[in-house]
Amino acid sequence: MMQDERTARAEAEEAVIVAEADPAAFLQDIRIGAGIRMVADEPAAAGGTGKGPSPYQLLASALGACTSMTLRLFARRKGWPLEHVEVEVRHTKLHARDCADCPEATVMADIFRRIIRIDGPLDRAQRARLVEIADRCPVHRTLEGTVRIRTELAEE
């Protein structure tokens, strides 16, 4: 498929298209829908160019963004005085045998540590409820749910 056809498909379907930008390293060009462009990469120490976030940083960004948006939406609906939300997300891998909550002891567990900072004159009950709501953001639910990835080779 030609580059223009892929671009037209991405714009029409709001698909995410990822293509190598530097085959000698790991730099990737990401196009989303009609006009969003960004890059992904690996750090120079891992053979990349360091020009963009790593795939795991992008995944952590999705979790953080979804959490912040979910809290804002909930507070807005309730009329709560939430002034600002900041979500810090860190990703690590842990051998499942070292993880008490992990179902299988032979695999690596991906751990996302999420630290939420909320500003505004909220009472203790409102703050506690926002922490509960954070676990209901769609990306959080996706990451904790059953995910299936179906891969197919494009026709030439």
pLDDT in tens, 142-151: 999 999 999 9
**Alpha-carbon distance values, 147 to 30, 99, 124 (Å):** 22, 21, 35
Q: Give domain limits for the chain.
A: 3-46, 55-144
pLDDT in tens, 34-78: 789 999 999 999 999 999 999 999 999 999 999 999 999 999 999
Residue 143 pLDDT: 95
3-state secondary structure of 142: helix
pLDDT in tens, 81-107: 999 999 999 999 887 565 666 655 557
Judge contact between 28 and 54, C-beta under 8 A. no
**Alpha-carbon distance values, 68 to 7, 14, 130, 143, 145 (Å):** 30, 23, 10, 16, 20
∠ CA(12), CA(150), CA(23), 5° rounding? 70
CATH number for the domain running over 55-144: 3.30.300.20
Judge contact between 155 and 75, C-beta under 8 A. no
Which pTM does this prediction carry? 0.83
Flag whether pLDDT at 21 surpasses 80: yes
User: Closest by alpha carbon to 143, among 95, 94, 109?
Assistant: 109
Strand intervals (E) in the chain? 16-20, 28-32, 36-40, 84-95, 108-119
Provide the residue type at 129 as one letter.
R
The overall longest dimension of the chain from CA atoms, in Å, is 59
